[in-house]
Structure 1
Amino acid sequence: MTQRSATFRLPSSDATTELARHIARILVPGDVVLLQGPIGAGKTHFARSLIQSLMEVPEDVPSPTFTLVQVYNVATGELWHADLYRLSHVDEVEELGLLAAFEDAICLIEWPEKLEDLRPASALTMELSLDQDHDDARRAELMWTDASWDARLEGIAP
Structure 2
Amino acid sequence: MSAREVFLADPAATEGLAAALAASQPARAVVFLEGDLGAGKSSLARAWLRALGVRGAIKSPTYTLVERYPLPAGEAAHLDLYRLAGAAELDFLGLDDLAAEAVLWLVEWPDRGQGGLPAPDLRVRLAVEGAGRRARLEAASPAGQAWLARAPI
Gaps of 5+ in 1: none
Gaps of 5+ in 2: none
- 2, 5, 8: which is aligned to 2:6? 8
CA contact (8 A) 1:90 1:115 kept: yes
- Number of residue pairs matched by the alignment: 152
**Cα distance change of structure 1 residues 101 and 30 upon mapping to structure 2, 3 Å threshold:** farther
- 72, 76, 85: which is aligned to 2:73? 76
CA contact (8 A) 1:36 1:112 kept: yes
Letter in 2 for 1:15: A
Match of 2:45 in 1: 47
Residues 66-116 of structure 1 deviation map (CA, whole Å, 9 limit, x = unaligned): 111110001221101010001123112132122542454111001111112
**RMSD after superposition:** 1.9
- Aligned partner of residue 3 in structure 2, secondary structure: strand
Is 2:136 aligned against 1:141? yes
Match of 1:90 in 2: 87
User: How high is the sequence identity, in percent, across the aligned residues?
Assistant: 34
TM-score (norm 2): 0.89
**Cα distance change of structure 1 residues 88 and 122 upon mapping to structure 2, 3 Å threshold:** closer
Distance in structure 2 (CA, Å) of the matches to 1:92 and 1:37: 21
Deviation at 1:4, TM superposition (A): 1.9
Match of 1:150 in 2: 145
CA contact (8 A) 2:70 2:76 kept: yes
The 10-residue stretch of structure 1 (93-102 or 34-43) with the greater mean CA deviation from structure 2? 93-102
Is 2:62 aligned against 1:65? yes
- Aligned partner of residue 87 in structure 1, secondary structure: coil
**Cα distance change of structure 1 residues 92 and 28 upon mapping to structure 2, 3 Å threshold:** farther
